Amino acid sequence: MTAETAQAGNGGADAGDGPRWRPGEHILWRYRANGGDDLHICRPMTVVRDTAELLAGWMAPGTVCVKPELADGTPVHREPLATRYTKPRRTVRSRWFGTGVLKLARPGEPWSVWLFWERGWRFKNWYVNLEEPLRRWSGGVDSEDHFLDITVRPDRSWEWRDEDEFAQAQRAGLMDEAQAERVRAAGRRAVEVVRAWGSPFRDGWEGWRPDPAWRVPRLPRDWDRKPERCEQRSADSGAAGGPRA
């Protein structure tokens, strides 16, 4: 499947919940810091498909992104787990290393599905990122990561990922017991989709390829700008329907 075959739609159940984008347009896919309102992850992406059922975005290799690191410059993943979520942080710009990633998200669903490839377009795996349902605004979509994830292999086997970080986030006070149980429940629903081999796993996205004419999106200076209040109200109304399994 090529970019030309990914048709955009307008209309549908969530057509009024926020802006819509055409294939090839650029958006920002952002995440708020846990336990606060500040944005600490921003990834410029190219829209592949945007319909009432699915938003698909492509992050090309070498894309300049924003990510968090500790205030002393230590990469987050290299900090011991006991202090990973308590030491001061800052945001830095960094290029996305390795091959690109395709992200798929359905409206109101508390996870997105990411596809990874090895060099030469050999498919590697799906990655279910548990998170808040995406909120649209004029420049892209916002969410908050929920630490716990699921890896799904080409043979349809799966496993939980980052359970240690999920537990540590609770100990650090970034997630209370009630929210942790909601995240676990969302993860169990995602596993049910995997076991049934439902969408998007069955939809053939492993064979997708980006349009070679697409240019790599640039990271804007105001990557952390706040959505207008009217945009936020629209996004909130779109999330009110709750997650769909």
User: What is the predicted pLDDT for the residue at 240?
Assistant: 35
pLDDT per position as a tens digit, 193-239: 999 999 999 999 999 999 999 999 999 999 999 987 545 444 444 44
Residue 180, Cα to own-chain centre: how many angstroms? Answer: 19
Q: What is the mean pLDDT of residues 171-180?
A: 96
User: What is the predicted pLDDT for the residue at 18?
Assistant: 82
Q: Is residue 223 part of a domain?
A: no
Q: Is residue 214 part of a domain?
A: no
Distance CA 127, CA 35 (A): 24
Contacts of 154 (CB under 8 A, 6+ apart): 123, 124, 125, 206
Domain that holds residue 157: 25-205
- Give the number of domains in the chain: 1
Mean pLDDT, the chain, rounded, equals: 89
pLDDT at 151 over 60: yes
Q: Which of 3-17, 62-76, 154-168, 187-201 has the lowest mean pLDDT?
A: 3-17
User: What is the predicted pLDDT for the residue at 229?
Assistant: 58
User: What is the predicted pLDDT for the residue at 51?
Assistant: 97
Q: Which residue did the predictor score with more confidence, 92 or 244?
A: 92
pLDDT per position as a tens digit, 133-144: 999 999 999 999
User: What is the predicted pLDDT for the residue at 206?
Assistant: 97
Q: Is residue 120 part of a domain?
A: yes
User: What is the predicted pLDDT for the residue at 36?
Assistant: 85
% of residues, the chain, pLDDT over 70: 87
Q: Is residue 45 part of a domain?
A: yes
User: What is the predicted pLDDT for the residue at 143?
Assistant: 98
Q: Is residue 13 part of a domain?
A: no
Q: What is the mean pLDDT of residues 36-47?
A: 96
Q: The CATH number of the domain where 137 resides is what? A: 2.40.380.10
Distance CA 117, CA 209 (A): 11
Q: Which residue did the predictor score with more confidence, 1 or 61?
A: 61
User: What is the predicted pLDDT for the residue at 35?
Assistant: 85
User: What is the predicted pLDDT for the residue at 141?
Assistant: 98
Q: What is the mean pLDDT of residues 1-6?
A: 32
User: What is the predicted pLDDT for the residue at 217?
Assistant: 97
Neighbours of 243 (CB within 10 A): 18
Q: Which two tokens stand for residue 80?
A: 């011991």
Q: Is residue 219 part of a domain?
A: no
Separation of first and last alpha carbons in the chain: 26
Q: Which residue did the predictor score with more confidence, 240 or 99?
A: 99
Position 74 confidence tier, pLDDT thresholds 50, 70, 90: very high
Position 71 confidence tier, pLDDT thresholds 50, 70, 90: very high
Contacts of 15 (CB under 8 A, 6+ apart): 52
Is the backbone of residue 220 left (phi > 0), alpha (psi -120 to 50) or beta?
A: beta
Q: What is the mean pLDDT of residues 36-56?
A: 96
Q: Is residue 18 part of a domain?
A: no
Q: Is residue 210 part of a domain?
A: no
